[in-house]
Amino acid sequence: MKTALLFGSSGLIGGHLLNQLIQNNNYSKIKIFVRSEPEINNPKVEIIKIDFNDLENHNKDIKGDDCFFCIGTTKQNSKDKNEYQRVELEIPKEIAKIAKSNLVNSFIFVSALYANPKSSGKYVRFKGLVEEELKRLNFLKLVLMRPSFLMGDRKEKRIGEKIGIFVFKLLSPLLLGPLKKMRPIHSKTVAKAMVRAANENLEKNIFESNEIVELF
């Protein structure tokens, strides 16, 4: 029986991921790392309140078998550009380094469509830089999920994203070949694929949005 580490359990993918991990018999314990304590009452779940500005102080907690990372933010939610960089770039890299030092076997990371460390766009550049660091750390298993527009019930309103999802859902039948990866994907589908990828020996470790659907 394994221990899962989950960062981002209150998010769109993370909420579904927590439910999937609770239902999965491969895991006897799920550690969720949170800023504020959620209302969860399940014997498999261990809630760890964490200060993301003092991660080294939580070194002893970041121990287990599979680490699932789906923390993310938007420029809209992070008015301070330094905070945006901290959440999207520095925090995942720091957590990955601690996990590796604690001999965590697997790291399953929610990246982004078109992640590229040389991109001019901050979001995909930061995701690409995190991917590079994760590859360098050489986990026994590394899985990179690159979803397109995420469908699901968000707590906050993202008008621009909603418009994008609506447009791309209409265009989905026309998005063929290399454009298939631009089709919107449901957050629950991503969560289920992450758990499967962590528990099966797959031939690849980078999954574009259309490949995530095939995994599910």
Q: Is the pLDDT of residue 21 over 90?
A: yes
Within 10 A of 51 (CB to CB), how many other CB atoms are there?
Answer: 9
Give per-residue pLDDT as tens, 89-105: 999 999 999 999 999 99
Write down all domains in the chain, each with its CATH number in brackets.
Answer: 2-215 (3.40.50.720)
| pTM confidence score | 0.87
DSSP assignment of 32-45, as one string?
EEESS------TTE
* Nearest residue to 131 (alpha-carbon basis) of 149, 148, 112: 112
Rounded mean pLDDT of 201-216?
88
